[in-house]
Structure 1
Amino acid sequence: MNSKVTRGIDIRKVHGNAWRPGLTNGLTNGMTNGLSNRALRRTGDKEGKHGKIFAVVVLCFLVLGVFAVLTYQSQQRNTIAIDGNFEDWQGVAKHSKERLRDVPENIDISEYASTESGRNVAFYAKVYGNMLYGDGRYIVEVPN
């Protein structure tokens, strides 16, 4: 082998009696300027490996979180539209009751249901007669 070996720090070089005072090549016993192989290997391997694992775990949670939010929002779309068309209530379970003899058919509820629609709650009611039917005689005025 044809390698150079550093003999350490020469006192004359430290005190400035040489051409380049105080300089070494960093290989004096492996400790000059903190270049110990043992210390570098110990901190580099463990911290690097744990840091990479931590980064992968955080990235997985972020991707999973975005996917979960998008899936939840797509399931919570407004399924009930208040437009007079009751076809969007086909998938909602409705409850029915028997006709009462002494109640007028225009206010006697025959079917009813409720459901969550996004952030809203929607109600469905059906009567035996015509809902909100009347001759308009009874008007209630509410003062402001």
Structure 2
Amino acid sequence: MTSPVLVVAAAVVDDLDEPRVLLSARRATPASLAGRWEFPGGKVDAGETPETALHRELREELGVRVALGDEVVGPDDGVWPLTDRYVMRLWLAEVVDGVPEPLVEHDELRWLPAGQWHDVPWLDADVPIVDALVALVRDRV
């Protein structure tokens, strides 16, 4: 059995210390995912650390530089299961340079205020992460 492919993503928020707004990205491709919402990110290339890959992916997909905050640790050995072939690590992130735009793979971005983080049709695998983020923010208050 081969190891799952590691994907990294960011829960881009307005403030790392007191997140009130969450960025969601609507998939444009592939057809099976189009119209569903996700966290921006992508695969880790050979020789990259997960954090380096995430910075690269956010520059490519959104045109921004970010500061990474805490990792939102998943329930399965620290990762979030996506499919039988992919697992994800996710960090909180705050934009420090640029304005997010849907440059690659997405056709729309939406900033969701607290209390509305479930108001878009997230990819099924991302719903537990949204739940964890809601709990994380609630616990910080």
Please confirm whether the aligned pair reaches a TM-score higher than 0.5, indicating the same fold: no
Q: Which has the higher contact order (CA 8 A, sep 6+)?
A: 2
Structure number having the greater helix percentage: 1
Q: Give the TM-score, by structure 2 length.
A: 0.19
Question: For the pair shown, which has the larger CA radius of gyration, 1 or 2?
Answer: 1
Structure number having the greater strand percentage: 2
Q: Give the TM-score, by structure 1 length.
A: 0.19
